[in-house]
């Protein structure tokens, strides 16, 4: 028996990276999963690999119309939605004084506006089932800031605020919302030659002296998505090997 048996889940940014890790674990635990991503080729291929309990829907997470379409297609294929994982996100490296405003807008739309839109449009579907779990993926940049991360930090702090608002607005309908704050994760990006030195330097500051494996983050997302966390809402869960402690 799986921990998500009978659940219908949407995971954004699920064609690769952390989103793909979440999707694989959700399928293993019995969920029906919508792989939602802008990359149609990768998304369709990955959904096919996951099998009959997965389907791909293309989405620009900053588009209101795309969100409406995603919810409608999910209900058409699998039925009312129980779980939403707002995982999609991008970053850039610019200071407050140097960032181009259009770049700032794009980061905010994809990283935080998408969270608002996702929660807004999934709400009626979750309400039908009289329960739901929303997991919003923030970042350590939603806990503290580093230099040259103006837009990214702003967007990830916004995820915290949106999550808190959803807790109050959705609670009476037995719909929960929680935010997670991952640290450094082993992905294709961290393995690139031009980032290895930076990752090694950061790893020295992590009390556990290693970066996270993707499944370690997925295990947390699974717990918050499942009924095992039925009395947890409004939580801000840092999963960083203790890195925030190093920064005081």
Task: List active site positions.
Answer: 152
Beta bridge partners of 36: 12, 57
| Token couple for 120 | 């807004």
| Token couple for 160 | 């915290």
Beta bridge partners of 9: 33, 83
Cβ atoms within 10 A of the Cβ of 76, count?
Answer: 9
| Token couple for 132 | 């739901």
Distances (CA, A) of 69 to 58, 73, 120, 121, 207: 9, 6, 13, 10, 44
């Amino acid at each position: 028996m799986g921990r998500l048996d009978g659940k219908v889940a949407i995971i954004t940014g699920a064609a690769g990276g952390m989103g793909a890790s979440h999707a694989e674990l959700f399928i293993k635990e019995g969920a029906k999963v919508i792989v939602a991503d802008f990359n149609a080729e990768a998304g369709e291929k990955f959904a096919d690999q996951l099998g009959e309990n997965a389907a791909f829907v293309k989405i620009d997470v900053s588009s209101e119309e795309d969100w409406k379409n995603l919810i409608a297609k999910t209900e058409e294929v699998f039925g009312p939605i129980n779980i939403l994982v707002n995982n999609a996100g991008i970053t850039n490296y610019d200071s407050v004084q140097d960032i181009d405003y259009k770049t700032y807008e794009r980061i905010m739309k994809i990283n935080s506006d998408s969270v608002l839109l996702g929660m807004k449009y999934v709400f009626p579907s979750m309400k039908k089932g009289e329960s739901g779990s929303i997991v919003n993926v923030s970042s350590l940049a939603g806990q503290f800031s580093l230099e040259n991360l103006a837009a990214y930090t702003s967007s990830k702090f916004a995820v915290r605020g949106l999550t808190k608002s959803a807790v109050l607005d959705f609670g009476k309908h037995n719909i929960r919302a929680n935010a997670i704050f991952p640290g450094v994760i082993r992905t294709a990006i961290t393995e690139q030659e031009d980032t290895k030195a930076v990752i090694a330097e950061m790893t020295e500051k992590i009390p556990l002296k290693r970066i996270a494996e993707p499944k370690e983050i997925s295990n947390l997302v699974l717990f918050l998505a499942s009924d095992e966390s039925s009395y947890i809402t409004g939580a801000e869960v840092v999963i960083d090997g203790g890195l925030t402690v190093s920064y005081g």
